[in-house]
Chain A
């Protein structure tokens, strides 16, 4: 059966890897599962040649292979890769793509006369399922391949994909589904998500010799090295020395603001590189981004400063070098980025790490250690996101409809929804059919109707609206940036724009822009004559170091604590810093919790170093300050980073007296206490915006939308308020709250950290001045004030503050 494929491999002078052959056979044997091998090892052919061989052996009409990619830009690369053997061997197979960019007439043709192989995105697959007759369209489907599964799995797009796969399996019980990935730590779970909970999942891995070499750019002098400043450009001269003007290089930064700053700095330092230098991040307009991507492919751009927007697997063959500015904060992310160079089997990935503060050297050393042990971060699938399920059920109702009784088991076969209860399912159906429990409250409600046990959409207008809003990627209220001729440049967050006055200049997309006015969710700008250093900040820019990495980091520091020789270059460079830390205070071992108290002109600082990542520290800091304040009222300023947190109080605050009480945590009550400490209801309200969008309760504006649709736009905070008052047990409210706790505050990790901290020896130090560990916290202080006051109290307090003038 595989002979035609083997012939083609032979003709190319390739030898199939054993794992590829294993994957082909597994497909032939009707299995589903996961293929997990390093980037650029030929996963695409491993997954597709089985189905292709079967198509060649027994030709059949209709769509046989569906290939899903998370990025529509990737679909062109996949299409080319599959066309290669088909055209060279003259196989009678048709490959086509179907994404948001595909023309309407082409899409129509595909429906009437489907290709053998269709490449598409999860969202476009959902849209296909929302058409009547989709059951017939997919009736000959043999296999679904999902590329870059790690990118989808941990989020709502993953749950959406799982539900679509479950539905396709329901339509075609013999369907095989294969997930592809390079960087997942929890293979079993990843495979089970892909294969569904009712089948058995095969895991195919390979020992492919893919070396990742991490080099660190060594600062010329450690003295001049800043303690903090994630945007610090101090290393620019060293970076320039090591960059080659002829080598195509991706320069990764962690945040969009950092990306803008480094781009500016490089442009100023090397004006002659101007037309070979670009920047790429997710707020830049799509057309501009795509232009940059294609110029990278051609090789006409040499240096691209980018963010995670270029993490995914677009095949940039010309990319020879990857630079990472600042710590990547996760092993998988570093591997993914390193893999962007050398995108071919047996190639060596290389990444040059540019530290932006000295302690990041320890992080890179920790990453190296984890890589050596073969560790990788887990991707945790979402737990029954009701908003995604609601959207999916409406999608099906727009298409062929679904039968309530039979469909629960289908939903449960998707890993994310395996625990969906009958009560929850009934609740969702009631909600979709009637608007809510109290019929009196929703007399005019129409969404789904039941006809002979089958749920269908209640009207064509509703189906049209729904199709337009399929998808789970939600954006905050963002402001478009446009030139006065209305040309779009990108998007920016409202709160940044709200601080600008007419005539203010800021840097965006590498340009100096002068702000003119704000009108209809667009900020109008013109090219500025003056220059500026103001770079917009985007919310949510900072990512915490992962669980896996924070543990390794503690181990690395422990190692240096034990007085052994530094394990690698990074730790060696860092050694003088650690010596200073040791002299002023100490370096905590793995079973110690270091707490430092320092008195300064600002007041009394308490520095605590659990090394658990910034989200956990935010939760801990909120919790501790609440408990301290309950004991002895005061006002705290809070600062957090990946290593620890700082509480700043008036100079006479008795931290030491209250410590035991504050530390005595009851993990049972943790959730309630965190909820008190962080103003959960406000966070939930913000989170609810995304949930409501996915669930189809609000509509985002559409370009060129008709006026009637504008009238459907409603603020989610209004909806949130109404639900909270009249339907407090609403599942979507519950979900928003769970998302805040589980995702935003990382409550499970916080709980684990608290448990760990209970068993640590507390080491209390009173250093004469801030230590190397404490200094970054001083510098990076962000003010997060505690509040549990009533509305009136807050207003009074704000007024008192004004009166001080």
Chain B
């Protein structure tokens, strides 16, 4: 399902997967952010014919990744569902299909999830704010606190634009700087927010089947040229 880029971060082996998840092989863990289940149904209710087939694809993609890497711990960095108080069928299905895989699911609540109590199986743990994992702190939104530990977060739906004029591409990416790693949004229906290259150090672009690592200075230089 794609070529992984592996590296060591704070002594921890991590793998950037082009399908927009982060793998921590030593912990048998996988991190995923911003799936936004139920977005299609919400839009449909407002008269916008957004098909929910992409949610289905997201679901299949996620389950396949979990099986492929024999994940024992799944960390969801927020915004699993699109609307607070929403309990979409796609969530029920995800819970059902993950159940036989016998793993722990940690759901860090995001701003879209709300604190509404949905009925979840025991293997699902809900965390309202942050969660430590090895040398990292997992959050939905990054915290501005100084001297904080290294954070891994979602929420932003990061993208970068490369190229210019007629010849440009907008791609989802992981974004890295001194104490923060942003995960791209996993859901197909989530759109993206364009990051300013100068505010980041390194990007890992997700190209479907492979990832491509770029330093921020590369992007800057290319922009100036054109």
Contact = CB atoms under 8 A, between A and B. Distances in A.
Interface of A: 431, 435-436, 438, 441-447, 458, 461-462, 465-466, 696-698, 711-712, 714-715, 718-719, 722-723, 725-727, 783-785, 787, 791-792, 794-795, 798-799, 801-802, 805
Given A442-B51, A727-B51, 4 more contacts: A714-B48, A718-B191, A722-B51, A795-B207
Interface string B20-64: 000000000000000000000111111111111110000000000
Given A722-B54, A726-B53, A714 B191 contact: yes
Contacts of B53: 438, 441, 722, 725-726
Contact of B43 (A696, A712, A715, A727): A712
Given A715-B191, A785-B167, A698 B48 contact: yes
A802 B222 contact: yes
B207 A791 contact: yes
B169 interface: yes
B212 interface: yes
A792 B45 contact: no
Interface in B206-223: 207-208, 210, 212, 214, 218, 221-222
10 contacts: A438-B53, A447-B47, A458-B47, A461-B46, A696-B47, A697-B48, A697-B49, A712-B46, A714-B191, A783-B165
A446 B44 contact: yes
Contacts of A438: 51, 53
Q: List 6 tightest A-B contacts by C-beta distance, closest first.
A: A435-B49, A445-B44, A447-B47, A444-B44, A441-B51, A444-B41
A431 B47 CA distance: 11
A446 B47 contact: yes
Contacts of B52: 441-443
Given A715-B191, A805-B221, A795 B162 contact: yes
Contact of B212 (A722, A727, A784, A795): A795
Given A798-B162, A798-B163, A462 B51 contact: no
A799 B218 contact: yes
Contacts, number: 97
Most chain A beta-carbon contacts within 10 A, residue among B51, B191, B207, B214: B51
B46 A462 contact: yes
A712 B218 contact: no
B51 A726 contact: yes
Most chain A beta-carbon contacts within 10 A, residue among B49, B52, B191, B218: B49
B14 interface: no
Contact of B50 (A458, A722, A795, A802): A722
A238 to B, nearest CB: 36
B163 A794 contact: yes
B118 interface: no
A788 to B, nearest CB: 12
Contacts of A466: 47
A795 B213 CA distance: 11
Given A441-B52, A719-B50, A726-B51, A802 B44 contact: no
Contacts of B10: none
A726 B54 CA distance: 9
Nearest to A458: B47
A204 B210 CA distance: 67
Nearest to A431: B49
Nearest to A713: B191
Most chain B beta-carbon contacts within 10 A, residue among A435, A445, A801: A445
Contacts of B205: 795
B225 to A, nearest CB: 7
A444 B55 CA distance: 14
Contacts of B105: none
A784 B166 contact: yes
Contacts of B167: 785, 787, 794
Contacts of A447: 47, 49
B138 interface: no
Nearest to A695: B49
A714 to B, nearest CB: 7
B225 A462 contact: no
B189 interface: yes
A784 B165 CA distance: 9
B216 to A, nearest CB: 12
A691 B33 CA distance: 32
Interface in B186-212: 188-189, 191, 205, 207-208, 210, 212
